Structure 1
Amino acid sequence: MNRKCPRISGLAAGLAMLGATAAGAADLAPIVEAPVAEVPAASSPWQIRVRGVGVITEDSGSVNGVAGSDLSYSDSVIPELDISYYFTDNIAAELILGTTFADIDEDGAVGVPVGRAWLLPPTLTLQYHFTDFGAFKPYVGAGVNYSMFYNQSERGGFHNLDVENAFGVALQVGFDYMLDEHWGVNFDVKKIFLETDWSADHDSLGALSGKAKIDPWLIGGGITYRF
């Protein structure tokens, strides 16, 4: 009789039992799925800011070309809404909306109050945003302003006050400090170079006209929201 047969049969049976045990363990083992990497959501290109702004005028002008004549304009504090669109992380366009009024006085040769004019000066700037400072995000900008004067009223003795609409150049510098992904605080300074023509009639002085050089500084702070 061949003595190898029982050994071979026993070995085969052992291997079969081991395979069955391994298969059963594989069936009972929990299925672990490979983790799926999360893709961060892209930031919206839209952003708004709400600011309180101090409007500080340059106080310069002329009346009928008279030497020593001068104009002054009252300063004011106004609310401002700004809407920004980011073309890239660094390049954005901002539309600046607000309205204010200025009391106009002749402070030179004549020395009389002239009237009041309301001003709507929408301004569009193209900005460069620096992105290497973490939550602190400074920017600079430049653009164009179109100032529209409306609801003009005269003081005693004056009639037909007309301050003409005009284009101007705007420069801007500021920063956002982001508190989280959406909310931040903002500080902003703008300089608008604005000169326009004006005219009015006076009961005693007759027809008056000249240049009004306003050139306001707009200094503001507020809240930023990035969608």
Structure 2
Amino acid sequence: MKAILPVALISALCSSVALAHDAGDIFVRAGFATVMPNESSDEVGTSGELELDNDTQIGLTLTYMVTDQFGVEVLAATPFTHSVSLGGSEVAEVSHLPPSVMAQYYFGQADSKVRPYVGAGLNYTIFFDEEGKGDLATYDISLDNSFGLAAQVGVDVNVADNWFANASLWYMDISTDVHVTGMDAIKTDIDPLTFMASVGYTF
């Protein structure tokens, strides 16, 4: 009986509530976004390539449905901060904001309970608060801002009138030159995957 009750509750909820993403709708999603860099860089001396750790921040998206199937979405977030390592030791810390704009296609009907979607667009990543650590603590460090392509897959699941749950996965093409005092620029591809789990509200 304990195993059956959750299934019955979900079935009842899904049977009584439909998701509405109609032409002209505006909806927001807010939740947690984790940036997971898939980095590669020029070799730095004999120490290897630069490595960046993951970071989780608050993510926010705003979507306008142009038609029942097509939407335009803007992504914003609180600043992500990554520790940068070289040869296993931390050498820098850097923050960034990755605002993105997506054109989206939603599968299914406007009143479907579940709406999977895909998106493609552009990303502009702004780097700031670069700070040397460890062996580079006394060096000036800066990263060039990046402009590149972005893509996403996601799904919305209705949970109540105007409310829905969301999960989405983003890919961003982020390439930058890392400048360190007295050294040649270090060409670095960050190219992260970003997973976002959120709740949304339709206006």
Q: How far 1:157 moved relative to its partner?
A: 4.1
RMSD between aligned alpha carbons?
1.9
Aligned pair partner of 2:74 in 73, 87, 95: 95
- 8 Å CA contact 1:92–1:128 kept in 2: the answer is yes
Counterpart check, 1:175 vs 2:155: yes
Q: What is the match of residue 103 of structure 2?
A: 126
What is the distance in 2 between the residues matched to 1:183 and 1:44?
Answer: 17
**Alignment counterpart, residue 185 of structure 2, candidates 209, 221, 224:** 209
Mapped partners of 2:130, 2:194: distance in 1 = 22
1:82 to 37, 61, 85: 61
TM-superposed deviation, 1:67: 7.3
1:210 and 1:68 mapped to 2: Cα distance?
A: 13
Q: Which has the larger radius of gyration?
A: 1
Q: Is the 8 A contact 1:101 1:119 kept in 2?
A: yes
Contact 2:23/2:66 (8 A) holds in 1: no
1:59 offset after TM fit, Å? Answer: 2.8
Contact 2:24 2:66 in 1 (8 A): no
Unaligned residue ranges in structure 2 (runs of 5+): 1-21
Q: What letter is aligned with 1:125? A: M
Paired AA for residue 61 in structure 2: D
Provide the rounded CA distance (Å) in 2 between the counterparts of 1:74 and 1:81.
22
Higher relative contact order (CA 8 A, sep 6+): 2
Residues 104-123 of structure 1: matches in 2 within 5 Å?
Answer: 104-107=84-87, 112-123=89-100
Q: How far off its partner does 1:44 sit?
A: 4.9
- Equivalent residue of 2:68, what SS? coil
Structure-1 separation of matches of 2:202 and 2:174: 31
Q: Which amino acid aligns with 2:93?
A: R
Give the number of aligned pairs: 178
Measure, in 1, the Cα distance between the counterparts of 2:89 and 2:116: 44
1:218 corresponds in structure 2 to: 194
- Give the distance between the partners of 2:100 and 2:43, measured in 1 at CA: 28
Structure 2 CA distance, aligned partners of 1:118 and 1:58?
Answer: 16
Q: Structure 1 208/114 Cα, relative in aligned 2: closer, same or farther at 3 Å?
A: farther
2:123 to 128, 132, 145: 145
Could you tell me the TM-score, scaled by structure 2's length? Answer: 0.81
Distance 1:213 1:197 in 2: 9
SS state at 1:179 partner: strand
CA shift at 1:74, angstroms? 1.1
For the residue of structure 2 that corresponds to 1:207, the secondary structure is coil
Offset of residue 112 of structure 1: 4.4
1: CA distance, partners of 2:23 / 2:104: 18
- What's the offset of the Cα at 1:43? 6.8
State the TM-score, normalized to the length of structure 1: 0.73
Alignment partners' CA distance in 2, 1:67 and 1:130: 50
Match of 1:154 in 2: 132
- 1:54 Cα offset (Å): 1.6
Q: Could you say which residue in structure 2 is the equivalent of 1:51?
A: 31
The one-letter code matched in structure 1 to 2:74 is L
